[in-house]
Amino acid sequence: MEMRQVRVERYGPPDSVVVVDAPVPRPGRGEVVVRVEAAGVNSGDARMRAGRFPPGFGLLARLAIGLRGPRARVLGGTFSGVVAQVGDGVHEFGLGDEVAGMTGVRMGCHAEFVVVPAVTAVRKPALLSHPDAAGVLFGGTAALHFLRDRAAMQPGATVLVNGASGSVGSAAVQIATILGGTVTAVCSAANRDLARRLGAQRCIDYTTTPVAEIGERFDVVFDAVGNLSRADGLRLRAPGGALVLAVAGLLDTIRGGRGVYAGPASEQVENVAELLGWAADQRLDPVVTVVGQLSALPEAYRRIDGGRKVGNLVVLPA
Ligand SMILES: NC(=O)c1ccc[n+]([C@@H]2O[C@H](COP(=O)([O-])OP(=O)(O)OC[C@H]3O[C@@H](n4cnc5c(N)ncnc54)[C@H](OP(=O)(O)O)[C@@H]3O)[C@@H](O)[C@H]2O)c1
């Protein structure tokens, strides 16, 4: 049986991706094949498509993921869909179950079907739509990883979120609020209402007050843009507080330091389940825009590369 998938043969611009036919994958032991109803298209996919990485990572990243193009030719790291085939040894899911999850470095979700280890799939809450389930996971897992699992954010903390309207930032504003924090959002005037609706108590317009010039200190400083230097971030951080550099270059990633958190976010299945639960309970708004079917991927990539994307973009492969 054939399916359609979107492939990236070489690093390149949004229009360089191609929709092609390919065999539907077969599940190995412990795996399920999911018919992808919705797949996220995010800044991670755009980096992989373009071969564009934070400062210092260029060569290392290309050695790791592919010299001229990504070895994982089919991008897409988040899915929500329906179990279409079940491999040997899988007891937790049956045909027709609705599941969502993340595929890590294997990616592969920009296709009508994706094969995943059953242990990485989570039952999708019935009340949550496929686009919302696929959309909430990329920024959501990053924000949850940094705020709760690494920075150990406490109730009552003051939190500065730089880049509050993007995928990671919109999740960080909401998760910091869920964890009991008071959030100050840095965003453009156009996104002020969104940031407030997501829980920010205050918004600072970066076009009039550059983030590094905010003359205050916060218990947690969360940079989801990549324009805050480590030194400026430390100046904004209250004594004993945390600095999250979600977009750190190589030097800052290895340097780390007490209360400074950088590096790749983990995709723990427990966190995926927790985010889906919060979204189903309407505590967390996935802020999703459906762009179209697989053929809409170039348009999704153009919006991401434009740097003004709000929240999360999703395509509907099946
Ligand atoms: N460490 C990790 O594991 C990890 C995980 C996920 C993502 N990331 C990284 O995190 C970064 C953000 O990812 P994302 O998916 O959230 O990006 P995104 O959704 O594409 O971010 C777009 C948003 O950024 C805002 N923005 C642009 N310039 C800004 C500025 N100077 N100040 C404040 N806001 C600004 C835009 O709002 P305006 O239109 O208002 O400017 C727009 O809404 C990426 O570099 C990504 O690679 C890291």
pLDDT of residue 263: 95
Tell me the two tokens of residue 19: 């929709």
Look at residue 227 and tell me whether its pLDDT is greater than 90: yes
Q: Out of 215, 232, 261, pick the residue that ends a domain.
A: 261
Question: Do 190 and 216 belong to one domain?
Answer: yes
Question: Do 246 and 284 belong to one domain?
Answer: no
Q: Out of 216, 231, 261, pick the residue that ends a domain.
A: 261
128: left (phi over 0), alpha (psi -120 to 50) or beta: beta
β-strand pairing of 78-86 with 158-162: unpaired
**Whose alpha carbon is nearest atom 33 of ligand 1?**
163
Question: Do 123 and 13 belong to one domain?
Answer: yes
Query: For the whole model, what pTM was predicted?
Result: 0.97
Q: 202: pLDDT confidence band, cut at 50, 70 and 90?
A: very high
- Alpha-carbon distance values, 299 to 31, 91, 153, 233, 294 (Å): 32, 39, 37, 34, 10
The residue segments making up the domain with residue 87 are 2-136+266-315
Phi, psi (degrees; rounded to nearest 5) at 27: -80, 140
- Are the beta carbons of 89 and 29 closer than 8 angstroms? yes
Question: Do 110 and 154 belong to one domain?
Answer: no
Question: Do 19 and 46 belong to one domain?
Answer: yes
Residue 175: CATH number of its domain? 3.40.50.720
Q: 122: pLDDT confidence band, cut at 50, 70 and 90?
A: very high
Question: Do 39 and 118 belong to one domain?
Answer: yes
pLDDT of residue 243: 98
To test ligand 1's pocket by mutation, which of 147, 188, 313 has the most ligand atoms within 8 angstroms of CB? 188
Of 307, 147, 131, the residue nearest 226 (C-alpha): 307
Question: Do 94 and 217 belong to one domain?
Answer: no
Q: Out of 261, 285, 307, pick the residue that ends a domain.
A: 261
pLDDT of residue 64: 92
* Cα(187)–Cα(164) distance, integer angstroms: 6
Mean pLDDT computed over 26-41: 98
pLDDT of residue 215: 92
pLDDT of residue 277: 98
To test ligand 1's pocket by mutation, which of 43, 107, 275 has the most ligand atoms within 8 angstroms of CB? 43
Mind listing the pLDDT tens digit for each residue in 44-101? 999 999 999 999 999 999 999 999 999 999 999 999 999 999 999 999 999 999 999 9
Question: Do 131 and 177 belong to one domain?
Answer: no
**Whose alpha carbon is nearest atom 9 of ligand 1?**
247
Question: Do 237 and 272 belong to one domain?
Answer: no
Question: Do 272 and 219 belong to one domain?
Answer: no
Mind listing the pLDDT tens digit for each residue in 161-197? 999 999 999 999 999 999 999 999 999 999 999 999 9
Question: Do 245 and 285 belong to one domain?
Answer: no
Residue 14: CATH number of its domain? 3.90.180.10
Tell me the two tokens of residue 46: 């755009």
**Number of domains the chain is built from:** 2
Q: 257: pLDDT confidence band, cut at 50, 70 and 90?
A: confident
Mean pLDDT computed over 113-119: 98
Q: 5: pLDDT confidence band, cut at 50, 70 and 90?
A: very high
The average confidence (pLDDT) of the chain is: 97
* C-alpha angle 36-42-45 in degrees, rounded to nearest 5: 85
**Whose alpha carbon is nearest atom 45 of ligand 1?**
247
* Cα(181)–Cα(1) distance, integer angstroms: 50
Residue 278, strand partner residues:
none
- Sequence-distant (6+) residues with CB within 8 A of 43 are 138, 166, 167, 168, 304, 309
Question: Do 10 and 120 belong to one domain?
Answer: yes
pLDDT of residue 201: 98
Share of residues in the chain with pLDDT > 70 (%)? 100
Look at residue 256 and tell me whether its pLDDT is greater than 90: no
